[in-house]
């Protein structure tokens, strides 16, 4: 078995995925509470996409040597990363090309069986507007950095896909 395949079948690889997503969630909370930047509803949805990547890491860590568990983890991972990229792209469009016709809601629309904004309002309640872009680093906005991050998650997913699907002997 190749070293890459061994790495993909290890808890370490899934743990690194989990830790990277937890780091993003902690950074979001630091921006919100440490730097007093109000998250918009799209930012909250992006947090949910990152939460999906956390879930993928947890699923993959359960039993990384079983192909079915890896497949479920990979599916959650890619859906979350692609959905997160789509959300970050839409938020970036609202910030770069503001339009009175393209606005976001002030209230999140979570399903009734999972009202995250009611369960954990400190993390999932929006208080800002989507058209605001209060932070940038190296002339790149937070939405653009999240687009980069989600693209990196998709690239890493592609790098893990083939060796992960191969069974261990």
Domain boundaries, the chain: 3-98+138-164
C-alpha 80: how far from chain center: 6
> What confidence category does residue 132 fall into, taking pLDDT thresholds of 50, 70 and 90?
low
Q: Are the CB atoms for 119 and 74 separated by under 8 Å?
A: no
What would the pLDDT profile of 44-75 be if each residue is shown by its tens digit?
A: 889 899 999 999 999 988 887 777 888 888 89
Residue 116 CA to residue 124 CA, distance in Å, equals 6
**Residue, of 36 and 18, whose pLDDT is higher:** 18
Based on the residue annotation, tell me whether 47 is a catalytic residue of this protein.
yes
Question: Which of 8, 11, 40, 70 is an active site residue?
Answer: 40
User: Strand, coil or helix: what is 48?
Assistant: helix
**Residue, of 33 and 66, whose pLDDT is higher:** 33
Radius of gyration of the chain measured on its C-alpha atoms: 17
Token representation of residue 100: 């009175």
81 has a pLDDT exceeding 50: yes
Fold (CATH) for 3-98+138-164? Bromodomain-like (1.20.1550)
165 has a pLDDT exceeding 60: no
pLDDT of 168 reads 47
Based on the residue annotation, tell me whether 104 is a catalytic residue of this protein.
yes
Average confidence (pLDDT) over 117-143: 73
Question: Which of 8, 11, 47, 70 is an active site residue?
Answer: 47
Average confidence (pLDDT) over 8-31: 87
> What confidence category does residue 167 fall into, taking pLDDT thresholds of 50, 70 and 90?
low
Based on the residue annotation, tell me whether 8 is a catalytic residue of this protein.
no
118 has a pLDDT exceeding 90: no
Q: What angle do CA 114, 29, 59 make, to 5 degrees?
A: 50
Average confidence (pLDDT) over 69-91: 90
**Residue, of 157 and 129, whose pLDDT is higher:** 157
Average confidence (pLDDT) over 31-36: 84
Strands (E) in 24-159, as ranges, are 136-137, 140-141
pLDDT of 136 reads 64
> What confidence category does residue 162 fall into, taking pLDDT thresholds of 50, 70 and 90?
confident
């Amino acid at each position: 078995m190749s070293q890459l395949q061994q790495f993909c079948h290890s808890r370490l690889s899934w743990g690194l995925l989990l830790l990277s997503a937890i780091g993003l969630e902690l950074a979001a909370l630091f921006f919100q509470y440490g730097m007093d930047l109000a998250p918009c509803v799209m930012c909250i949805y992006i947090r949910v996409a990152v939460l999906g990547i956390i879930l993928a890491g947890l699923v993959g860590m359960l039993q990384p040597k079983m192909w079915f568990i890896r497949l479920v983890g990979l599916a959650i991972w890619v859906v979350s990363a692609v959905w997160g990229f789509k959300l970050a792209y839409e938020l970036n469009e609202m910030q770069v090309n503001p339009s009175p016709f393209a606005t976001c809601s002030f209230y999140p629309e979570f399903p009734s069986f999972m009202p995250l904004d009611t369960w954990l309002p400190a993390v999932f309640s929006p208080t800002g507007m989507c058209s605001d872009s209060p932070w940038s680093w190296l002339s790149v906005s937070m939405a653009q950095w999240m687009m980069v991050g989600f693209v990196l998650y998709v690239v890493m997913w592609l790098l893990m896909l083939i060796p992960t699907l191969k069974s261990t002997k």
